[in-house]
Amino acid sequence: MIAFFAYFFLGARSLSLLIKKKWKFPRFTGKQIILSFLVIFLTGFFFFLILSELLICAVLFDIFLLAFVSGVVFFVQLPTVAAKRYIINKAKKKRQAIRDLIVIGITGSCGKTSTKEILYHFLSQKYKVLKTEANNNTEIGVAGAVLKKLNKNHQVFVVEMGAYRKGEIKAICDIVKPKIGILTAINNQHLALFGSQENIIKAKFELIESLPKNGLAVLNWQNRLVKKGFKKKSGLRVVKIGKDIWAENINAKKESLSFKMVLGNGKSVNIKTKLAGRQNVENILLASAGALELGLGLREISKACLGIKDVGIKISKRDNFVVLDSSYSANQNGVMADLEYLNLYSGEKIIIMPSLIELGPISAEVHRKIGKKIGEICDLAIITTKDYFSEILKGAVGSGMEKENISYISDPGEIFKTINAIKKQKIILLEGRVPAKLKDYLLKKEYNN
């Protein structure tokens, strides 16, 4: 009887979420489809046992169900693991066959995608360059790029490297064999998965440790954890951003960024770009170090900066509001930097964002800090996920924001209605992975009251 009520409650709860359109459906892959059919079959068999009054069998079936499903998942995984190994080994052989290829690896807790795009833009002025696309920065994603896109005509391969645990960046390096490694920054991103800050540092430095003795490491020396984790390696050359290359006279405006880039040998050049956000200074310096290593001159880099686009925050204007789209991903450093950029604008400042994930024991503290920054800068905040909303609220109210100006709203239509009710000029920052439908409403004008 207890089991019956437990199943009834879970079923009613699921039905309620479905009716309220709060049920989150997974993206169905081949494996998920097989497992879904298995679960449906097992559920039907379970109720057959109950209806047939074979209650003892039903109880035993329920007890061993988890073990049975786990076994099936294991066997379903076997072909996937075998296929992955085959693809990776094939990619390694193809990479080894292109001996003159120069590979530049880029990793870090934040800024790696922007740095990759900027460096690709620089090097494309002089070389035949391939880059990994979007967020395909895993071992299998990089292997796929090697097999599908890399050819003997490419001179340089710019590889973004991501990781959720130790060993993953080393595995990517084993495939592509980088000669230049760029470490953008280290923070607390994915702390819950790595287990400790020390593990994150070690994981990011797998790129630097994988470089050959005649290689080059480009390190963001302005980042405390990068400095902490660096250990000298015999023969490896090192360029330190903030020490060997740095920026002076930074001028960040709403739709432009300019500064003077200075080298340790006394040479310098003025940089001007249409990129939004002061954080792109570091990204440009990191990419410039890689470009200088491959023979680009300061003037070539300065000229190339004028043509950089589609990197970082994307700005769209519509009716009486401006949308600052930084919805690619989110981490603490990025949120803080984007809020500083939002503060350059005049008007009703609004942030829409989910809570950050995978921060482990520091989650509450990080969200309070974000809330504090939101309270200092924003007039309205909409948080799209419930986790740690109370911590964001606490931080925002503590820094002066009225409680009614920060809300938890997950429905895209409700969010759009809330924004539309404000008649003033609005500046809307989309931070992190906000609902896709909301972006449709704001950017593509798809909304019916």
pLDDT level of residue 20 (50, 70, 90 thresholds): low
On the question of pLDDT at 57 being above 70, the answer is no
- Where is pLDDT greater, at 68 or 108? 108
Say if CB 301 and CB 291 are below 8 A apart: yes
pLDDT-derived band at 337 (thresholds 50, 70, 90) equals very high
- Tokens standing for residue 321: 């509001």
- This prediction has a pTM of 0.84
The answer to whether residue 316 scores a pLDDT higher than 80 is yes
In tens, the pLDDT along 72-109 reads 677 767 777 888 899 999 999 999 999 999 999 999 99
pLDDT tens figures, 106-161: 999 999 999 999 999 999 999 999 999 987 899 999 999 999 999 999 999 999 99
pLDDT of residue 327: 86
Alpha-helix residue ranges (DSSP H) falling in 52-149? 55-97, 112-123, 139-148
Sole residue written with tokens 């359109």: 21
**Homologous superfamily assigned to 314-444:** Mur ligase, C-terminal domain (3.90.190.20)
CATH 3.40.1190.10 fits 99-305, yes or no: yes
- Check residue 183 and give its pLDDT: 98
Residue type, 397: V
Domain ranges in the chain?
A: 26-97, 99-305, 314-444
Q: Give kind and range of the element (H or E) at residue 208.
A: helix 206-209
Give the pLDDT score at 23.
58
